[in-house]
């Protein structure tokens, strides 16, 4: 593989374009594209703005017009080769007269893959692998969902130092600090499903929307999913008009994830109670754990997770810590600690 300095600079710019603020999460990956001429000068730029909008290549070509002929297209993901809500990007690049295509990551989606072959068959020079790792980090969740045919699951909970998520009388407002709650909303906004169990809805009546630092709802809301066979009061807040909602009539985590993936959902934020968390852990369907630890002791109360069937220390569930962040206290509150962990795969 041989890449020019101009192509490397263009790929870094394409990576920046791919993460342009305001692009909603959804079924499509984040992609950026830069067209450069033989002298390495930028001719046009583009990026994907969400499902149903032009792909990054089409966006860049639209800006370039006739100037696209003879250029090199530098793209963070292999140009697609299928017709969905938009046409195949590989064919659009050929039609525009693009001379060379450099992309970072191969498309893992079998429906869309094959763009490189289409380009080569049309006489376009194609190279891949430039900043592949960096590009992969843009779409870790999307790639996981495509490869595993199910959404990536992040389990989030707040806990005291002694592992309690609520006091003995059931009160849990607030185990975590305001800084932790604001951080939770930031993470919620990165997902496209908020998932809880029917008991959480019946007892806590959560709203399950994503709100900003002023407690105002953001524009693009995740799907609010409730899992369980129990009938619920339709007046519960989770079923209001603030965001889309669905009741998944199952207790099986695999079935729930299958239904959500069929709805083009890629990232589940699991915020249910200890029973739901235990069900996902026992099924091996938790891919990331985010814990907010508050500097307090309760001594009794609800645990963060229900019985996992573990009877000896040798069988303990031992996720790997990948990040430790201290969240400074606000409004006189003590700092909380956010732990990010990854379950080990066997």
What radius of gyration do the chain's Cα atoms show? 23
Cα angle at 251 between 246 and 257, to 5 degrees?
60
Token readout for 81 is 């080769």
Give ranges for CATH 3.40.140.10 in the chain: 5-139
User: Which pLDDT score is estimated for 1?
Assistant: 64
User: Which pLDDT score is estimated for 172?
Assistant: 66
User: Which pLDDT score is estimated for 69?
Assistant: 98
Q: Give the neighbor-by-neighbor strand order of the sheet with 223-227.
A: 245-248, 223-227, 193-197, 267-270, 152-160, 288-294, 336-342, 320-327
Token readout for 202 is 């019946």
The tens-digit pLDDT sequence of the chain (346 residues) is: 689 999 999 999 999 999 998 787 777 899 999 999 999 999 999 999 988 889 999 999 999 999 999 999 999 999 998 877 777 999 999 999 999 999 999 999 877 779 999 999 999 999 999 999 999 999 999 999 999 999 999 999 999 999 998 888 877 667 888 899 999 999 999 999 999 999 999 998 999 999 998 989 998 899 999 999 999 999 999 999 999 999 999 999 999 999 999 999 999 999 988 999 999 999 999 999 999 999 999 999 889 899 999 999 999 999 999 999 999 977 778 899 999 999 986 4
CB atoms within 10 A of CB 214: 5
Sign of the dihedral defined by the CA atoms of residues 34, 36, 42, 43, in that order? negative
Task: Please tell me the distance from the alpha carbon of residue 33 to that of residue 28, in angstroms, as a whole number.
Answer: 15
Token readout for 315 is 């069988």
Tally of residues, the chain: 346
User: Which pLDDT score is estimated for 346?
Assistant: 45
Domain 5-139 indexed as CATH 1.10.3470.10? no
Q: Catalytic: 334?
A: no
Using a 10 angstrom Cβ sphere, with 0-12 exposed, 13-18 middle and 19 or more buried, the burial of residue 235 is exposed
CATH topology of domain 149-342: Dihydrofolate Reductase, subunit A (3.40.430)
Whether the link from the prior residue into 66 is cis, omega within 30° of 0, is: no
Give ranges for CATH 3.40.430.10 in the chain: 149-342
Task: Please tell me the distance from the alpha carbon of residue 237 to that of residue 241, in angstroms, as a whole number.
Answer: 9
User: Which pLDDT score is estimated for 345?
Assistant: 64
Considering the candidates 45, 57, 78, 288, report the single residue annotated as catalytic: 57
Question: pTM, whole model, 2 decimals?
Answer: 0.88
Task: Please tell me the distance from the alpha carbon of residue 79 to that of residue 71, in angstroms, as a whole number.
Answer: 15
Task: Please tell me the distance from the alpha carbon of residue 341 to that of residue 241, in angstroms, as a whole number.
Answer: 34
Sign of the dihedral defined by the CA atoms of residues 162, 207, 338, 329, in that order? negative
Sign of the dihedral defined by the CA atoms of residues 183, 187, 190, 191, in that order? negative
Whether 159 contacts 303, CB under 8 Å: no
């Amino acid at each position: 593989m041989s890449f020019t300095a101009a192509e490397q600079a263009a790929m870094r710019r394409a990576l920046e374009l791919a993460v342009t603020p305001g692009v909603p999460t959804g079924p499509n990956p984040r992609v950026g594209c830069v067209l450069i001429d033989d002298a390495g000068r930028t001719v046009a730029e583009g990026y994907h703005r969400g499902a149903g909008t032009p792909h990054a290549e089409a966006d860049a070509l639209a800006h370039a017009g006739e100037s696209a002929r003879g250029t090199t297209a530098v793209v963070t993901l292999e140009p697609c080769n299928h017709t969905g809500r938009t046409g195949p990007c590989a064919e659009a690049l050929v039609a525009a007269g693009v001379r060379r295509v450099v992309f970072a990551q191969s498309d893992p989606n079998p429906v869309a893959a094959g763009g490189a072959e289409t380009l080569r068959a049309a006489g376009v020079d194609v190279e891949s692998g430039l900043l592949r790792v960096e590009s992969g980090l843009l779409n870790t969740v999307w790639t996981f969902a495509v490869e595993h045919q199910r959404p990536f699951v992040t389990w989030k909970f707040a806990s005291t130092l002694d592992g309690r998520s609520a006091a003995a009388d059931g009160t849990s407002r607030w185990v975590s600090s305001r800084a932790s709650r604001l951080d939770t909303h930031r993470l919620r906004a990165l997902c496209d499903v908020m998932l809880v169990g029917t008991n959480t809805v019946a007892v806590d009546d959560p709203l399950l929307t994503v709100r900003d630092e002023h407690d105002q709802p953001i524009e693009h809301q995740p799907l609010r999913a409730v899992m369980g066979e129990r009938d619920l009061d339709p007046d519960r807040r989770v079923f209001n008009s603030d965001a889309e909602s669905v009741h998944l009539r199952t207790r099986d985590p695999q079935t729930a994830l299958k239904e959500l993936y069929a709805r083009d959902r890629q990232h589940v934020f699991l915020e249910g109670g200890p029973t739901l968390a235990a069900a996902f852990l026992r099924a091996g369907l938790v891919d990331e754990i985010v814990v907010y630890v508050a500097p307090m002791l309760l001594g009794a109360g609800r645990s963060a997770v229900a019985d996992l069937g573990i009877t000896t220390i040798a069988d303990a569930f031992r996720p790997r810590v990948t990040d430790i962040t201290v969240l400074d206290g606000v409004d006189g509150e003590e700092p909380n600690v956010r732990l990010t962990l990854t379950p080990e795969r066997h």
